[in-house]
Amino acid sequence: MIAKAEYHRPRSLPEALSLLEKYGKDLKILAGGTNLVVDLKAKTIRPKVIMDIKDLAEMTGIKFDDNGEGFIGPLATVSFIKGWCISHGFYHNLRTACQHLGSFQVRNRATVGGNLCDGSPCADTAIALLTYDAKLVVNAPGRERSIALDQFFKGIGGVDLRPGEILTQITIPKLSESRGEAFYKLGYRKAMTIAIAGVAVLITPEQTSPERVKDVRIALSSVAPIPMRAQKAENILIGQQGGKKFFEEAANVAAGEAEPITDIRGTKEYRREMIRIMVKNALIEAWDKTGMKFGDSLESRIDE
């Protein structure tokens, strides 16, 4: 099937945008190819043109600016991001998401941009980046726009990419040094598994009253048509004292915000209950990482 499609391999972003403008909906973008090649072989898609963008060097790598804002190239592979996060001791949730995505071979090919643009409710990197309030930069010939990641997903397989647009950058605002992060993924195996449910949490204490929560982000995967923020649960915690009482309350609200379904991997009731447990435990773990420990030990509190 691939051989029957016209193949292009642009060497620059302007060249890629020109091809997008020329071929429009007849064109499919090949980045890592871990999803596209499967769809081609299954003949679920029949593009007339395939544009291989692996040579676009301006869309790779990770860097910071002088203000501490992070920039991730959408063509950065999952393996590269995992290694970078480990070596720099940064972006714990993203590192853990990459660590649990697919197999070693898949991680070497799959790109973070592809994982986002596939629009899967199960996207591991999506919930990690949602906890960072990430934004996406997309380009088309003669125009550029920025999209908040929590506004990017539009239902199963749907994303806010207009005809002729391509994702060119992922931006992460400067994160508080006092934050704590936690990422949980529930699956049938430790590797090569699609999440039954996933949770990512980032929490930051107040500077003047560090026993209280200044900011929190709770992101969920595989329990709604899109990777989602549990914003009602987040709002409960703002300004409250970090501790089991409010964390349990927020976890119950997050479970109510989820919209799980029953499928071959789990029932909606099971998913909702797992979200409740995972959110509570992720909040406890993330809060401990801020240095604001409370009560009994972490091990005795994460016991469900």
pTM for the complete prediction? 0.92
C-alpha dihedral sign at 126, 128, 131, 132: negative
Position 44 confidence tier, pLDDT thresholds 50, 70, 90? confident
Helix (H) or strand (E) holding 172: strand 166-172
Predicted pLDDT of residue 297: 41
pLDDT tens column, 51-108: 999 999 999 999 999 999 999 999 999 999 999 999 999 999 999 999 999 888 989 9
The DSSP-derived string for 42-85 is: HTS---SEEEE-TT-GGG--EEE-TTS-EEE-TT-BHHHHHHHH
Q: Residue 129 above 90 pLDDT?
A: yes
Q: Tokens 């853990």 map to which residue?
A: 96
Q: Which residues pair with 181 in a beta bridge?
A: 202
Starting at the earlier edge strand, list the strands of the sheet with 228-229: 180-186, 197-205, 213-221, 228-229
Position 191 confidence tier, pLDDT thresholds 50, 70, 90? low
Average pLDDT over residues 125-150: 96
Q: Residue 15 above 90 pLDDT?
A: yes
Predicted pLDDT of residue 2: 45
Which residue in 259, 257, 243 sits closest to 296, CA to CA? 243
Question: Which domains occur in the chain, in start order?
Answer: 2-52 (3.30.43.10), 57-172 (3.30.465.10), 180-291 (3.30.390.50)
* Bridge-based pairing state of the strands 180-186 and 166-172: unpaired
pLDDT tens column, 210-239: 999 999 999 999 999 999 999 999 999 999
If you average pLDDT over every residue of the chain, what do you get? 92
